[in-house]
Structure 1
Amino acid sequence: MHPETPSARTLRLSVPGWPGHLPGQHVDVRLTAPDGYTATRSYSIASASQGELVEIAVEQVPGGEVSPYLVQVAAVGDPLELRGPLGGWFVWRSQQDEPLQLIAGGSGVVPLISMVRTHDATGSSAPVRLLYSVREPASVYFRGELERRAATQTGLSVQYAFTRSAPPGWDGVPGRVNADRLAEWARPPDDGATTYVCGPTGFVEAVSDLLVRAGNDPRRIRTERFGPS
């Protein structure tokens, strides 16, 4: 377990007999209170597809029933009830050789880092471009890893869209992802890429609409929305 941002934490879960997963899938985590009350929430898997360690990254939601426990209370050795892997639409398979466009808003980067990690682990030759929209540098998940991978991982490029404040030396103006940013940073609509967009509902809907207006084939756009947990 380690912090990702001031309000988010990564948890590595040992799951004996884990069957493996596809990048983009998620798990359900269920907590049970002493009085028997249960609460279940879904979390995307951040880890690559091999092994019995399942990594999730959890953003604490004020007033949430599950995320405050996972971020603030859960300790090494505590048991968790897990169900999964789940989901079959918002997934990437290493056999796909077309270009890959990943667009994340905030914690929506979690399933996309699984795709990036699996891309590297399997030696995929598909070119990958990640556009990560985030409020400020302190809110970036997997920051050190993304910097390292952007410099060393074959076929991967990473670009940020800081919406409130940017780090010194960043080549851009803070603001939301718009048509101009997509035209500059995203893959061209005619190169056959499959695009994965993940984040809050408003972000996903806005970006998807911009992509279609720019000429991207809606059938090649896959979306995943995050909600309170």
Structure 2
Amino acid sequence: MTRPIAVVTGASSGIGRATARTLATEGFEVVCAARRTDRIEALAAEIDGRAVTCDVTKSEDVAALAEAAGERIAVLVANAGGALGTDHIADADFEDWRIMFDTNVIGSAATIQACLPALCAGRGVIVTVGSTAGLVSYEGAAGYCGAKAAEHAMMMSLRLELVEQPVRVCEVLPGLVESDEFSLVRFRGDTDKAAKVYAGVRNPLTQEDVASCIAFAATCPEHVNIDQLVVRPRVQAAAHKLLREDA
């Protein structure tokens, strides 16, 4: 039997890689898309999927991804994105902001736009991997919070725009996730700073936890739309309330 197609961007690490693996176990043929070819090729071989080298900020890459995915897409997980720096606005490096908006917002929008005809044909599901940072802001993250808030607003508009189409529009919005690269990238490879993000937190979310939420949203019955799924570790009662054992 032909497996339904799932496209996952940012599949070379973290939540994207975990999602590709989880969707493969759900019976999808996963198109693993990311910039690092060696990583996605290894992942595709592991899960019997396909690898497509793609930088979501490059229109030619996004077009090639949509072409490679084919005429029918069952699931698109627009996961590529991330955070850079913790500058306050007074000291912000706006080049970091441009990168965050290009990847999290415009990159997601461009991927959705390119894949939309195939998603309509496949009666598919669009899932963006947002963040609770897009719902509640915090200091030192105006650029990232702004990008994720824009992505959140974009998805609310998209849901209205596509109501007459057989396409579901879903957001998964994680809180604190212990990822293999998210904090390292944010702190430009500083392992000490990255480790402090999770210090004293018992059982933060894992990449696999978020992947299971994405798979749930993607595999609900066709009439069920998970508009927004906010997921946090139990010890994070709110964006500003995180229990640390050494506190």
TM-score of the aligned structures, taking structure 2 as reference length: 0.31
TM-score normalised according to structure 1 size: 0.33
More helix by share: 2
Q: Name whichever structure is richer in strand by fraction.
A: 1
